Amino acid sequence: MPADEGEFLQEFHAEVEEELDAARSSRPADLVDVPPAEWLFDPTDVERQEVGLRNVLAAVEALESDGRPDDG
């Protein structure tokens, strides 16, 4: 993997992890006692976003591991 691509993947990986942390910290489960009219976001959308971010993170990790030399 070219150095520029590896650098890009590392930065992208960090950004995706930050977004995933933000999605996790939004705590949609805390909205159970709040009326839906007062929600700032839909908990289902947050869950979908988290699943999507996990998929992107897994893809980035797969690309990163493909660029590393095999051990052994």
Contact 64, 5 (CB under 8 A): no
Looking at residue 71, its pLDDT comes to 52
Under the banding of pLDDT at 50, 70 and 90, the label for residue 72 is very low
Choose among 57, 60, 54, 71: nearest CA to 6: 60
- pLDDT, one tens digit per residue, over 15-34 is 999 998 888 887 666 666 77
- DSSP letters along 12-37, please? HHHHHHHHHHHHHHT-GGGGGGS-GG
What is the sign of the dihedral through the CA atoms of 62, 17, 50 and 32?
positive
